[in-house]
Amino acid sequence: MGSFVRFLVAGLCSLAVLTGCASHRGAGTISPSGYAYNEAIAKTKSEQLLLNLVRLKYRDPIVFMDIDGITTQHQYVFSASAENLIPFRNTADGSSLIIPGASVSETPTTVYKPLDSSQFAQDLLAPIAPETVVLLANSGWSVERLMACCIERIGPLSNAASVSGPTPATIPDNYAFRQMAGLVRELQQEERVTIERLPGGEGAGTHLVIDAVDTDVCAPLRALLEAPDCAMEFRLVAKDSGRQADAAFAQTRTVLGALYTLSHAVDVPPAHLDAGLTTQSGVASARTPDWAAYLGNIFEVRAGASEPAGAAVKIFYRDHWYWIDDQDLQSKTTFNLVTFLLALQSAASDGASPLLTINAGG
β-bridge partners, 248: none
Split at pLDDT 50, 70, 90, the class of 93 is low
Q: What is the DSSP string of 290-340?
A: SHHHHTTS---BEEESSPPSSEEEEEEETTEEEEEETT-HHHHHHHHHHHH
Q: What is the DSSP string of 252-264?
A: E-BHHHHHHHHHT
Share of the chain above pLDDT 90, in %: 49
Burial of 332 (0-12, 13-18, 19+ CB in 10 A): middle
**Does 337 have pLDDT greater than 80?**
yes
- In this predicted structure, what is the pLDDT of residue 351? 40
Half-sphere CA count of 48, side-chain side, radius 13 A: 16
pTM metric for this prediction? 0.76
184 vs 153, 154, 190, 244, 338, CA distance in Å? 14, 12, 10, 21, 21
Angle at 325 between CA 324 and CA 331, to 5 degrees: 60
Which residue from 77, 81, 49 is spatially nearest to 64, judged by alpha carbons?
A: 49
Half-sphere CA count of 90, side-chain side, radius 13 A: 0
- The pLDDT tens digits for 291-328 are 999 999 999 999 999 999 999 999 999 999 999 999 99
126 vs 23, 77, 230, 323, CA distance in Å? 51, 54, 33, 28
Tell me if residue 217 falls in helix, strand or coil. Answer: coil
**Which stretch of 64-68, 251-255, 318-322 has the lowest confidence by average pLDDT?**
64-68
Q: What is the CA radius of gyration of the chain?
A: 30
Write the single-letter amino acid at 86. I
**Does 109 have pLDDT greater than 80?**
no
Distance of alpha carbon 148 from alpha carbon 127, whole angstroms: 15
Mean of all residue pLDDT scores within the chain = 80
Split at pLDDT 50, 70, 90, the class of 356 is very low
Chain centroid to CA 305: 24
Sheet order of strands, 311-317 included: 302-304, 320-325, 311-317
Distance of alpha carbon 159 from alpha carbon 144, whole angstroms: 12
Mean pLDDT of 65-86: 64
**Does 4 have pLDDT greater than 50?**
no
Contacts 24+ apart (CB under 8 A), 187-196: 187/211, 187/212, 187/215, 187/217, 187/221, 188/142, 188/143, 188/144, 190/215, 193/143, 195/133, 195/134, 195/137, 195/138, 195/143, 195/236, 196/134
Higher pLDDT, 292 or 34: 292
